[in-house]
Amino acid sequence: MTAMLEIRSLKTEVVTSEGRVTLIDDINLELAAGEVMGLVGESGSGKSVTGLSIMGLIDKPAQVTGGQVLFKGKDLRNLSEREIRSVRGNRIAMIFQDPMSTLNPVLRIDTQMMEVVHAHEKISKQAARERARDALGMVGIPSPEERLSAYPHQFSGGMRQRVAIAIALLMSPDLIIADEPTTALDVTIQAQILSIVQKLARDKGTALIWITHDLSVVAGLAEKVSVMYAGRIAEQGKTADLLRRPMHPYTNGLIASLPAHNQRGSRLKQISGTTPSVANMPKGCAFHPRCASATQLCLSPPQLEPVEGRLLRCFHPVMEGASS
Amino acid sequence: MSNRLEVRSVSKRFSRKCGLVERGAEFMGLKAPNPVVRALDDVSLTVAEGEVVGIVGESGCGKSTLGRVVAGLLQASEGTVLFRDKRLQDLPGEDAEAARLKVQMIFQDPSSSLNPRQRVREIIGAAPLHHGLTTARELDDYVSQQMARAGLDPSMASRFPHQFSGGQRQRIGIARALAVQPDMLICDESVAALDVSIQAQILNLFLDLRKQLDLTYIFISHDLSVVEHISDRVVVMYLGRVVEEATVEELFSHPNHPYTRALLQERPSLDPVQRSFSAIEGEIPSPLSPPSGCHFHPRCPLAMDRCRIERPELRTVGSRHKSACHLND
């Protein structure tokens, strides 16, 4: 199977007159059609920047300064702004955490949805409206015909997120990048959204990058997962394998600290310290100040290397220690 | 064991106040009365001395309103709140104030609950100074103690909140609450905004403080695994009503109410098995116009005719286990 999306050593930096600050570096991903990849990390780990870098949505002073984003074999970074606009929203769509940042509060849903269709395809108003209605139906919005003429504020939070997903689906994209789309939603509503997305990826062969801080969301949804820490991929592999036997001390610590993995009422196993800020990265492995197995070796940067069927960036992988 | 706190049939209604003209129009039948949100609808709850009670539910279930009523930030529309079997209204002024002071609240978002223009020393020190728990001369030492207890470096007392990370800011909120020497804390989504690794640190702090200071907690959260970890007893709320309450072991092993069961089922788990997400149908109804009878019936797979008409009572279904569902009859 050829990869639909292949990212090679992607690097994004903030470039100012005072110097450069690296936001993400050495990001490598591969995604086939219909495949779901989870991109997991805590705040400041660079997971959203990765999503935006793929979409070419990075704004100054930040810029993508290295690597390739191969979408169906073509490097998106070499495209002109005009060319990338015909891809963005059409072949690659994005869903954001807050649907109100996608939706215009003063326009009706149908206006906004038809605008997307007309930006990429010359079809009649009627056909565009029908497509919008079908997309709303697909994400489980009841009576889509009537809801088309509603305004965003007339929807609940979960429904708004469905509308945002429906907009992403309008052009039947090959790839959807979803940035924390269920984080602000309630548990039961989150489950509804996850079930829609899961069905879509399966039925339509849409590839999906699901950015989240929540490992448990990824567990049931994604086949592959990349764990990010401080702007780099710490560990990448098959979800089932990686969650059952995390090898990077960070992933291991993260899983061990979940309340579900600890005895009720006992102290949780915690990772000490806090995530470093991008302006003040530790030397070598960015995790070493918080890592229990750090040695002198960790002061030089580890590379992302294949270890037992996964990619790992660590000199001292957790070998037998299962987290649970 | 005595009750630290008892909430007796408390209801809380919110509505917009009418102006004179509107009231006149309403009186003459020209205008419908303003809609009323029943945030709490006949809620009863007891918390024993030293107990940790978790309150779970989705948005709009009234869990935060309940916390605020207990903390005295909101007045109940009906019903009473008893502290150690005494109503605050019955206590003389000073005692009532002292009783209030013993219950403190910790909020979800540390950046909006800390004054950005005050230094940490003022944030933590203002209340104990006002209430005479320390003197101006000993204030610095007192604040240092409070900071150290919450896991903050006392040398940072003259910094502003924005100079701290999210986890540290939450520690400031905890230090501020503990500075007035409460014996009960109400934590309203206190770890929801934090990263997983930081969340574990703060939960550990809560557990340690409970042991050190014999604290009683009401722990409000939408996150079942957090509540399961920290609580002795769990109360499940839906649209302003308590639908189930039980000890933590009982609730998580034998959930009774269909809503609780659905919540538990849909809890994302780390079990790395590809699974199909099957959702409970429907939206959470608006508390402005809750469904009749049992509030959960439009989404309940087991709903009967009776559920549409009659409100189920909270009834004992096992040892220290209550549930409000007609299926138990």
Q: Provide the sign of the torsion angle of the four alpha carbons A174, A180, A186, A188, taken in this order.
A: positive
In a domain, B85, yes or no: yes
Looking at residue B271, its pLDDT comes to: 66
Please give the structure tokens belonging to residue B87: 């109503």
The answer to whether B270 contacts A260, with C-beta atoms less than 8 Å apart, is yes
**In chain A, whose CA is at the least distance from the CA of B283?**
A189
How many alpha carbons lie under 13 Å from residue A66 in its C-beta half-sphere?
12
Distance CA B328, CA B78 (A): 28
Residue A195 vs residue A6, higher pLDDT: A6
Buried b (16+ CB within 10 A) or exposed e, A204-221: eebbbbbbbbbbbbbbbb
Closest by Cβ to A258, choosing from B195, B225, B230: B225
- A-chain residues within 8 Å CB-CB of B200? 257-259, 268-271
Buried b (16+ CB within 10 A) or exposed e, A70-80: bbeeeebbebe
Please give the structure tokens belonging to residue A184: 């602000």
- DSSP β-bridge partners for residue B63: none
The answer to whether B280 contacts A244, with C-beta atoms less than 8 Å apart, is no
- Angle of the A249-256 helix axis to the B196-213 helix axis, nearest 10: 50
Domain total of chain B: 1
Q: Provide the sign of the torsion angle of the four alpha carbons B277, B280, B281, B282, taken in this order.
A: negative
Please state whether the peptide bond connecting residue B290 to the residue before it is cis, i.e. omega within 30 degrees of 0: no
Looking at residue A10, its pLDDT comes to: 95
DSSP state of A257: T
- A-chain residues within 8 Å CB-CB of B238? none
Please give the structure tokens belonging to residue A59: 């704004």
Q: Hunting for tokens 């003197």 — which residue is that?
A: B135
In a domain, B203, yes or no: yes
Please determine, for residue B152, whether its predicted confidence score (pLDDT) is greater than 50.
yes
Please determine, for residue A320, whether its predicted confidence score (pLDDT) is greater than 80.
no
Residue percentage of chain A with pLDDT more than 70: 98
Please give the structure tokens belonging to residue A263: 């005895």
Q: Who's near A319: CB < 8 A, 6+ residues apart?
A: A247
Among A162, A139, A145, CA closest to A110: A145
- B-chain residues within 8 Å CB-CB of A181? none
Per the CB < 8 A criterion, the answer to whether A64 and A58 are in contact is: yes
- A-chain residues within 8 Å CB-CB of B278? 191, 195
Structural domain for B25, as ranges: 3-102+182-257
Distance CA A181, CA A93 (A): 13
The answer to whether A188 contacts B225, with C-beta atoms less than 8 Å apart, is no
The domain spans of chain A are 5-91+174-282, 106-170
Q: Hunting for tokens 């590809």 — which residue is that?
A: B274
B131 to chain A, minimum CA–CA distance in Å?
33
Distance CA B303, CA B259 (A): 11
Looking at residue B1, its pLDDT comes to: 57
Alpha helix positions (H), chain A = 47-55, 81-87, 109-120, 125-138, 144-147, 157-169, 187-204, 215-221, 239-244, 249-256
pLDDT digits (tens, 9 = 90+) for A9-19: 999 999 888 88
The answer to whether B262 contacts A198, with C-beta atoms less than 8 Å apart, is no
pLDDT digits (tens, 9 = 90+) for A277-300: 887 888 899 999 999 899 999 999
Distance CA B147, CA B176 (A): 9
**In chain B, whose CA is at the least distance from the CA of A262?**
B229
In a domain, B321, yes or no: no
Distance of CA B23 to CAs B1, B36, B37, B216, B289, Å?
A: 49, 15, 19, 44, 22
Q: What is the CATH number of domain A5-91+174-282?
A: 3.40.50.300
Looking at residue B273, its pLDDT comes to: 57
pLDDT band at A198 (very low <50, low <70, confident <90, very high): confident
Please determine, for residue B267, whether its predicted confidence score (pLDDT) is greater than 80.
no
Distance CA B85, CA A49 (A): 55
> Side chain identity at A170, as an amino acid letter?
L
Looking at residue A322, its pLDDT comes to: 45
- B-chain residues within 8 Å CB-CB of A215? 196, 270
pLDDT digits (tens, 9 = 90+) for A164-191: 999 999 999 999 999 988 887 888 888 8
Distance CA B53, CA B63 (A): 12
pLDDT, average across residues B100-116 = 87
Residue percentage of chain A with pLDDT more than 90: 57
Q: Provide the sign of the torsion angle of the four alpha carbons A73, A77, A80, A81, taken in this order.
A: positive
CATH number of the domain that residue B34 is part of: 3.40.50.300
- Angle of the A187-204 helix axis to the B258-265 helix axis, nearest 10: 50
- B-chain residues within 8 Å CB-CB of A291? none
A148 to chain B, minimum CA–CA distance in Å?
18
- To the nearest 5 percent, what fractions of chain A are helix, strand and coil? 35, 25, 40
Residue B27 CA, distance from chain mean position: 38
Please determine, for residue A233, whether its predicted confidence score (pLDDT) is greater than 60.
yes
Looking at residue A54, its pLDDT comes to: 93
Among B95, B76, B94, B100, CA closest to B177: B100
The answer to whether A271 contacts B273, with C-beta atoms less than 8 Å apart, is no
**In chain A, whose CA is at the least distance from the CA of B223?**
A187
pLDDT, average across residues A78-97 = 91
Please determine, for residue B274, whether its predicted confidence score (pLDDT) is greater than 70.
no
pLDDT band at B196 (very low <50, low <70, confident <90, very high): confident
pLDDT band at A97 (very low <50, low <70, confident <90, very high): confident
> Side chain identity at A172, as an amino acid letter?
S
Q: Provide the sign of the torsion angle of the four alpha carbons A149, A153, A155, A157, taken in this order.
A: positive
pLDDT, average across residues B299-325 = 92
Alpha helix positions (H), chain B = 20-27, 63-71, 93-101, 110-113, 120-130, 139-149, 166-178, 196-213, 224-230, 248-253, 258-265, 305-309
Distance CA B296, CA A39 (A): 35
pLDDT, average across residues A75-96 = 91
In a domain, B165, yes or no: no
∠ CA B2-B3-B8, nearest 5°, is 145
Looking at residue A324, its pLDDT comes to: 38
pLDDT digits (tens, 9 = 90+) for B202-215: 999 999 999 999 99
Looking at residue A9, its pLDDT comes to: 94
Residues in chain A: 324
Closest by Cβ to A213, choosing from B196, B267, B284: B196
Please give the structure tokens belonging to residue A36: 């779901």
Residue percentage of chain B with pLDDT more than 70: 96
Residue percentage of chain B with pLDDT more than 90: 55
For the ranges A186-190, A251-255, B215-219, which has the lowest average pLDDT? A186-190
Looking at residue A323, its pLDDT comes to: 42
Looking at residue B51, its pLDDT comes to: 94
